[in-house]
Structure 1
Amino acid sequence: MPMPRSRVGRLSIGAGLVAGGCLGFLPILGFWMAPLGLIVLSHDLAFVRRRRRKLAVWWSRRRRN
C-alpha cells in the first residue's frame, strides 16, 4: 500500500493507527495498529525514527547472539 505524498496525510494516518492501537481491546481495532502507526510516523518524526533504529539494532544484535 503506497504512503501518501503529503506530510499531513502521513501524520494523520500514523496518529490514527496509534490511537486505534490504544483501543485494541475493541473487536475490530487491534494492538497491531500501534507499531504500524509508529512505523508510519517514523518517516516524518525524527525522535520516532531514532527509537525505531535503536530497536532494529538491538533486535539484530539479539538475533546474532
Structure 2
Amino acid sequence: MSETDLEPSAAKDNSKPAHKIPLFGREFHMPRSRWLRVAIGVGLVVLGMFGFLPVLGFWMIPLGLLVLSYEFHTVRRQRRRFIVWREKRKRKV
C-alpha cells in the first residue's frame, strides 16, 4: 500500500496547514491567506477602537492583536511576555 491509499486527503493537499488560535480551551481556524489574516487582525483592532458604539466592542482589540501575533514578531513577543506574566501571577495566588 502506498501513502495515497492510507491518507487520500493528505496526498491532495500539499499546502501549508491552516493556523489555529487556541482561545478559551477551543481552537479556531484562521484563513490560509496571510493578507487575509492581517486584514482581519487590523480590522478587529480598528473597529475595536469604536467599542463605545453598539455591536462593536473593546473586546475586538485583544482578539485582533491575537490574530496579528501569528504574523508579526513584535506582537508575538508581547503576547508571549503577557502569557509568562500571567502564569507567574497565577502561581503566586
CA distance in 2, matches of 1:52, 1:32: 16
- What is aligned with 2:91? 64
Q: 1:1-65 residue pairs with structure 2 within 5 A?
A: 1-65=28-92
Larger strand share, 1 or 2 = 2
TM-score (norm 2): 0.68
Using CA pairs below 8 Å that are at least 6 residues apart, which structure has the higher relative contact order? 1
Structure 1 segments, 4+ long, off by >2 Å, are none
Task: Provide the aligned length of Structure 1 versus Structure 2.
Answer: 65
Q: Which runs of 5+ in 2 are unaligned?
A: 1-27
Instruction: Give RMSD over aligned pairs.
Output: 0.7
Alignment-mate amino acid for residue 4 of structure 1: P
List gaps (5 residues or longer) in structure 1.
Answer: none
Q: Rg larger in 1 or in 2? A: 2
Distance in 2, matches of 1:42 and 1:49, equals: 4
* Structure with higher helix content: 1
